[in-house]
Amino acid sequence: MKRYSSKLARKEALEGYLYALPWFIGFTVFTAGPIIASFLLSFTNWDLIRHPQWISFGNYKTLTEDPLFWQGLKVTSIYATFSVPLGIAGGLAIAVLMNQKIKGLSVFRTIYYLPAVVSGVAVSLLWSWIFNPDFGVLNYLLSLVGIRGPGWIYDEKWALPSLILMSLWGVGGGMVIYLASLQGVPTELYEAAIIDGASSWKRFWSITIPMISPVIFFQLIMGIIGSFQVFTQAYIMTNGGPNNATLFYVLYLYRNAFQWFKMGYASALAWVLFLVILTLTIVQFKIANYWVYYEVGR
């Protein structure tokens, strides 16, 4: 009987590995393989035509002397600094509004969520028209109240703020997540606070925020990662201009890899980006111990 059981266990294990084999092959070929290859290529000089030449840390040394690298890092950091808090605050504010008992609530929720499902290229083309200084909707609306609108994405000073403003377009995606977390807050906590005489603002800060803090933390992490990977808006709308005012990090990486064919240098850029995101994520997890509240049980 034991022999039969061990044979059956080996058969089940073999079948399990066979079923998982396609995933292992796909992961090795399309994920793990390219990751290892890019790491090795970051220490080489390769233009896709000649064989890669080993230059050790040459690419990383060049990075520190490259002004466009620092410009890309600066632009991306500024964008992340403003767009992530705005996205979190905007999504939470809309979720709070959509959590009220009002007529036609499902319609309003749909309206706010719909922009989040539109593809990046379509959104970029739409906002290019909105930001047009000559016939754009935004400047037209400003002219109705006697304000002469700026050049937006065509103005060096306004280009990056324009893209930060545009980032609010997708807050509906975060709204859905916040809405689910708001509906999970125990109502008895609000009832007890009302009995104690707490105002609505006090209830929001003392009950709502702590109870949904894990969701806010999740949105913060995902927002930081996403903001450091911005590419489509800059590529379609400004192509990094004017005067490199919107030269996002990933756009500069793309240029090195697929326009100038500096694959080794682009790989080094990719690994620096990975380290930056990893560092920021670890820091956020460390800080989370001081403000994120996890409910152990009711």
286 has a pLDDT exceeding 90:
yes
% of the chain beyond a pLDDT of 70: 97
Contact between 231 and 79 (Cβ < 8 Å): no
Region 74-83: mean pLDDT is 97
Give the pLDDT of residue 13.
84
Weakest mean pLDDT among 42-46, 263-267, 292-296: 292-296
Give the pLDDT of residue 296.
61
5 has a pLDDT exceeding 90:
no
Region 129-145: mean pLDDT is 93
For 88, half-sphere exposure in the C-beta direction (CA atoms, 13 angstrom radius) is 21
Cβ partners under 8 Å of residue 73, min gap 6: 249, 276
Tokens matching residue 285: 């997890």
pLDDT digits (tens, 9 = 90+) for 176-195: 999 999 998 988 999 999 99
| Triad 146, 148, 151: Cα angle to 5° | 160
172 has a pLDDT exceeding 60:
yes
Torsions phi, psi of 34, nearest 5? -60, -35
| Single pTM value for the model | 0.91
CB count within 10 Å of CB 36 equals 11
Residue whose pair of structure tokens reads 């979720």 in the numeric block: 95
Cβ partners under 8 Å of residue 185, min gap 6: 207, 208, 211, 212
Q: Which of 264, 217, 245 is nearest to 78 (CA)?
A: 245
Give the pLDDT of residue 11.
82
Q: Using only C-alpha atoms, what is the Rg of the chain? A: 25
Q: How many residues does the chain have?
A: 298
Tokens matching residue 213: 């803090």
Fold designation for 67-288: MetI-like fold (1.10.3720)
Q: Which of 86, 237, 242, 96 is nearest to 163 (CA)?
A: 237
Tokens matching residue 67: 């002004």
Q: Which of 59, 81, 25 is nearest to 256 (CA)?
A: 59
pLDDT digits (tens, 9 = 90+) for 26-54: 999 999 999 999 999 999 999 988 899 99
Region 47-71: mean pLDDT is 94
Mean pLDDT of the chain: 92
Contact between 212 and 128 (Cβ < 8 Å): no
Give the pLDDT of residue 298.
45
